Amino acid sequence: QQPVQSPQAVILREGEDAVINCSSSKALYSVHWYRQKHGEAPVFLMILLKGGEQKGHDKISASFNEKKQQSSLYLTASQLSYSGTYFCGTAANAGGTSYGKLTFGQGTILTVHP
């Protein structure tokens, strides 16, 4: 079953912050976040493993709440280059291991204006 992302779209001005959420009804092994620009392939941002960890990369960070099967992506002080569609991909938990395949959400369109 496909994870649900919210919101579907976000419009920001440069320097503003945004949060994108990803919820699954399945027990998850990992959550993967990607950004995709129009006509291009998805670009890997970060991976979070079960255990409630939080990761950060420059001004983009993410958290994974294993109990709620939810992940959130935090974009702070947004830049024009952050514009694109953000996807979460989830790997289901099967006996403590992942089979590897990702199930992607429907995407969140982020637009950053000057």
Partner 1 sequence: DTGVSQDPRHKITKRGQNVTFRCDPISEHNRLYWYRQTLGQGPEFLTYFQNEAQLEKSRLLSDRFSAERPKGSFSTLEIQRTEQGDSAMYLCASSPKVRLGETQYFGPGTRLLVL
Which residue's CB is nearer to partner 1, number 80 or number 94?
A: 94
> Positive or negative CA dihedral for 55, 60, 66, 67?
positive
End-to-end alpha carbon distance in the chain: 37
Task: Work out which of 13, 81, 100, 114 binds partner 1, going by CB under 8 A.
Answer: 100
The structure tokens 């109990």 sit at 67
Task: Check residue 84 for interaction with partner 1 (CB under 8 A).
Answer: no
What's the alpha-carbon Rg for the chain, to the nearest Å? 14
Task: Check residue 4 for interaction with partner 1 (CB under 8 A).
Answer: no
Which residue's CB is nearer to partner 1, number 19 or number 47?
A: 47
* Range in contact with partner 1 (rule: CB under 8 A) among 12-20, 62-70, 74-82, 87-95: 87-95
Contact residues toward partner 1 (CB under 8 A) are 2, 29-30, 32, 34, 40-44, 47, 49, 87, 89, 91, 98-107
